[in-house]
Chains A and B, each alone.
Chain A
Amino acid sequence: MKSAIQTFLSKGPPDEVAIAAFLKAHTFPIVEGRQATFVYHGAADAVNLRHWVFGLASSQSFERVPTTNLWHHTLEIPPQSRVEYKLEIHQAGHRQWIQDPLNSNLAHDPFGANSVCHGQGYERPDWTEPDPDARKGSLKEMLFSQTTLGGPRRVSVYLPARFRETRRYPLLIVHDGGDYMRYASLQTVLDNLIHRLEVAPLVVALTHPGDRLGEYPNHPGHAAFIAEQLLPEMQAKFPLYEAPASRCLMGASFGGVAALSTAWRYPGVFGRLLLQSGSFAFTDIGESKRGPTFAKVVDFINAFRDRPGKPSEKVYLSCGTYESLIYENRTMVPVLQGTGMDVRYEEARDGHNWENWRDRLRSGLSWLFPGPLWMVYE
């Protein structure tokens, strides 16, 4: 069966009127089964698709429709995929990365925004969208004027709707908490999942890093800040359960390394870990090819793999199959299982990005902190 672009082009060279009609008739990229066709309409010397799917060439050339400014490229996108991308436009000796002008679907991150292609069957989970019926939790700010990291540090605290001083709550400590709130809709997700009784009402400490690449890979000052300053302060200020099973460290990417290394340095303190796309680079022999940024990570993960101990009790791990870190995360699963911890591992056809981490929050949080759904029969 011919694709939409093939059908369109089979009628002969299109004129501008035909192109305009074609663009109006479709949403882009055009997803047909496992194929996605990306289209660009505009003056250019060359157009490339730039994406972050590990395993595919990261730059893919568009083909120009002769005598027109219409460019297209078809790529295999398996069902349920989410692929973030930009278009690279070459013109008059310059090149520019832009969002796809024909696709309004964007994903934001600290570096800006990318266009997003949804493979067949992918739908944004409804629990990530604001629900008018879900009561909102509240946010407070805490300031630590002096920390083991050498300076002041701000921590935001999420309190669930209907928070009561007379109740007790589990504690979730989230690395890069501000980014999780901005780019992974964390507050909306918490409000919704707690409202739906799928996740227990939680008190959440959202940390804001300084130099995260320096602080996160097994930094003693960072671990001490979390375990010896933040945790006691949270316990003093809020009604929290004291059992390790009611304390969770969470993080993505380098934040996952920070969560794991903190638990490793303080075994038995944090009974739950939620690690998303952890940057768990290691070497079996020789040097890591990931460069100096990862040097401390590799040292830590190698040490962890040698002597993992039992840093926690229950670990949820997730990774996108389009990430370069998929090998490291898959490899981490038997290492964690070997410690006797209860491990749940989940993969998704997605990349190293905040919406991938957002979409896994329900399965991670509901497994680590199941809500009262089990107990409520209205």
Chain B
Amino acid sequence: MTVGMLLGPQRLHPIVGEALELLKVDPADGRKIAAITAGWQEREAEDQELCAALGNRSVNLMLHARGEAVFRDDPDFFAAHRAKQDRLRSLQDLYRLRLASTLKAARRVQQATAPRDLIESELEESLQALRLLDAHHVAKVRQIEEDFDRRTKPLQRLSVRRQLAEIDAILAECSAVAIAGGHVAVLYNRMRMFDLKSRLAERPEVPIMAWSAGAMVVSDRIVLFHDSPPQGRGNAELLANGLGLFPGVVVLPHARRRLLLHDHARISVFARRHATAACFALDDRCWLRFDGARWFSGPNTFQLCSDGQLITTTPAAP
């Protein structure tokens, strides 16, 4: 089982150095740390600050640039990828339509004036409808992705295999992997394209540090959220299942900025909707550590509870 740490944002208050110590990555072993910054897209290579924070021994896997090279070299694959993305976007739009009414129903039931026991039973039914909708959505996403994989066979394409050979060579020399945040869908797509899930799972001895979007991608499910974007209050939604390297948690980077954490009713619905996982706010200096069986959390790392409260705790082993 993969081991490692999920961290809050690293730009202003980096703790990757402390994380390396906690993960017992030997700074003197002469080995590199593989960095994945594909979420930064075209700015992927602007990783000087990250390199410094990692002790100037990182090597960037350049997954975004490699993806662009694949698309350049393989127009058919690029066209198929675009078609898949268009289909996923349409699916996400349809899911949003259904989600808006299902979530609205749950919140209205929660705020209704009625006997407490009736509200609770009807709310649980509404939340179950939400869970079913979420599950249906990620299943449809997976189906579209698997159809794409079946038709295009990415890992057998010369354009991809060339890149994979280089990626494998780099990973073989590394004692840890650091996955930065950024655009979560781009990061997820690039990690999928180059089969990082299997490649990292095959190296359980190599710990992973992932933060912000990186932490979302390596967990079980990718939940997009923002309670107050400029276009109006947003409904948290699932993008896809994550790579599942770190099971049992939903991570919420920048939670203080993006979520109305004082709104207990809203937090309660959020936590109960994702009740099969523990939801964690990952703000600056926050961390979760997974030893392959159990989770441990940092002192300022809050879990969102089903009653809408935030607590500091060590999450249960999945």
Contact = CB atoms under 8 A, between A and B. Distances in A.
Interface of A: 162, 164, 166, 168, 198, 243, 245, 362-363, 366-367, 370, 372-378
B229 A374 contact: yes
Interface stretch (B17-25, B123-131, B165-173, B230-238): B230-238
Given A166-B68, A363-B231, A376 B184 contact: yes
Given A374-B234, A377-B184, 9 more contacts: A162-B42, A164-B42, A166-B68, A198-B231, A373-B226, A374-B229, A376-B39, A376-B181, A376-B183
A363 B42 CA distance: 28
A370 B229 contact: yes
A377 B229 contact: no
Contact of B182 (A164, A367, A377): A377
B185 interface: yes
B183 to A, nearest CB: 5
B212 interface: yes
B183 A198 contact: no
Contacts, number: 56
Q: Is the interface of B mostly helix, strand, loop or mixed?
A: mixed
B231 A366 contact: yes
B68 A377 contact: no
Contacts of A362: 230
A173 B178 CA distance: 43
A151 B68 CA distance: 43
A378 B230 contact: no
A363 B230 contact: yes
A292 B162 CA distance: 70
B294 interface: no
Given A164-B42, A373-B226, A378 B9 contact: yes
A234 B151 CA distance: 32
Contacts of A198: 229-231
Q: Which of A243, A362, A363, A373 has the most CB of B within 10 A?
A: A373
Contacts of B9: 377-378
A377 B230 contact: no
Contacts of B199: none
A358 B224 CA distance: 30
* 5 shortest interchain CB distances as A-B pairs: A377-B213, A367-B231, A366-B230, A366-B231, A377-B212
Contacts of A374: 224, 226, 229, 234
Nearest to A370: B231
B266 interface: no
Contacts of A378: 9, 11, 181-182, 212-213, 254
A166 B254 CA distance: 31
B287 to A, nearest CB: 15
B42 A377 contact: no
5 contacts: A166-B68, A363-B231, A376-B182, A377-B181, A377-B212
B182 A373 contact: no
